[in-house]
A and B are shown apart, each in its own frame.
Chain A
């Protein structure tokens, strides 16, 4: 009877070790894969930040152009309010050309190239929309512009929207 009991107990240590080993292995594998996925997340965080800063650069371009050529922007807005769809499209396109990184010599393309030159990554930046929000009646001296800019770094894109208060200059 005693011998039989001892026999049933044989293999217990091996069995326990296998179970504990499996548990340790699972924990270690979880830690390993968790660390690997965190690496990808951190890499994306850096790329997203670079894309966001490219969008900020695009926002600076947009504000600068409005500051230099406000009459032309209001010509686009007048066409938007009174013109035919085809006319509106051609006015908008004329205004937005400087913000198109696909146009080789546009300011947006030059800034994109400059950002990528030191970094080695591929930057692109531009303006998605540029519109007048308010202008009602007479007596108003200030307008609001809604500008949506975007930036991308190695294909990761971030957008930025700003409501900008400006003085009506004409």
Chain B
């Protein structure tokens, strides 16, 4: 084998090597930002869920008057547990609606709250919840029934974040358990 033929072989080898690297690296270069973007959005979604859950738990714990949807505005403080510690936050409730915002890292989380007395009396109203108990062994079945005149408040908390993140939407009910 001459020196010239050895050089040619090396060149082919390098070209094949470059081709292989291009075949492997280029698709990976394209998919890496997608993967990192997805991972970032997932982390934001997890934080959004925690913020929403903290807000709902706070609205379940404060005195009922504060979530009854009565006119007037008020501030409710709450805390969010994050990986780097506890972050204070505030909700501004105005009547049946509320808002809040939290910035964690580079992401802004917007909280929207809706408080709706979805179930309430009077007894014959279609929105009344009827609780009952029929004594199964009484000679004539004795029925105790209570149509709920008190409002069952639906607490709806939506947390939006980023431009491409799917908003988190959480809901529960709160009964009027005041004496």
A interface residues (Cβ-Cβ under 8 A, vs B): 3, 6-7, 10-11, 13-14, 16-18, 20-21, 24-25, 28, 31-32, 35, 38-39, 42, 45-46, 49-50, 52-54, 56-57, 60-61, 63-65, 67-69, 71-72, 75, 79, 87, 90-91, 93-95, 97-98, 105, 107, 110-111, 114-115, 118-119
A17 contacts which chain B residues (CB < 8 A)? 16-17, 20-21
The answer to whether A110 and B129 touch across the interface, beta carbons within 8 angstroms, is yes
Q: Which of A3, A50, A60 contacts B170 (CB 8 A)?
A: A50
B136 contacts which chain A residues (CB < 8 A)? 87, 90-91, 93-94
Q: Which of B16, B39, B53, B118 contacts A38 (CB 8 A)?
A: B39
A53 contacts which chain B residues (CB < 8 A)? 53, 56, 170-172
The answer to whether A35 and B38 touch across the interface, beta carbons within 8 angstroms, is yes
The answer to whether A95 and B35 touch across the interface, beta carbons within 8 angstroms, is no
Q: Of all chain A residues, which has the CB nearest B19? A: A17
The answer to whether A31 and B177 touch across the interface, beta carbons within 8 angstroms, is no
Given A60-B173, A95-B133, answer yes or no on A11-B118 (Cβ-Cβ < 8 Å).
Answer: no
Q: Which of B10, B21, B39, B150 contacts A21 (CB 8 A)?
A: B21
Give complex CA distance A64, B178 in Å: 10
B68 contacts which chain A residues (CB < 8 A)? none
Contacts between chains A and B (CB distance < 8 A), count: 147
Extra pairs beyond A71-B144, A114-B119 (7, CB < 8 Å): A24-B24, A31-B35, A32-B31, A57-B172, A72-B144, A95-B133, A115-B173
Q: Which of A10, A111, A114 contacts B10 (CB 8 A)?
A: A10
The answer to whether B133 and A94 touch across the interface, beta carbons within 8 angstroms, is yes
B1 contacts which chain A residues (CB < 8 A)? 3, 7
Q: Which of B10, B131, B170 contacts A98 (CB 8 A)?
A: B131
Can you list 21 A-B pairs, Cβ within 8 angstroms, ordered by A? A21-B21, A24-B28, A28-B28, A31-B35, A35-B42, A39-B42, A46-B45, A49-B49, A50-B171, A53-B172, A64-B148, A69-B131, A79-B137, A90-B137, A94-B136, A107-B130, A110-B119, A114-B118, A114-B119, A115-B172, A119-B169
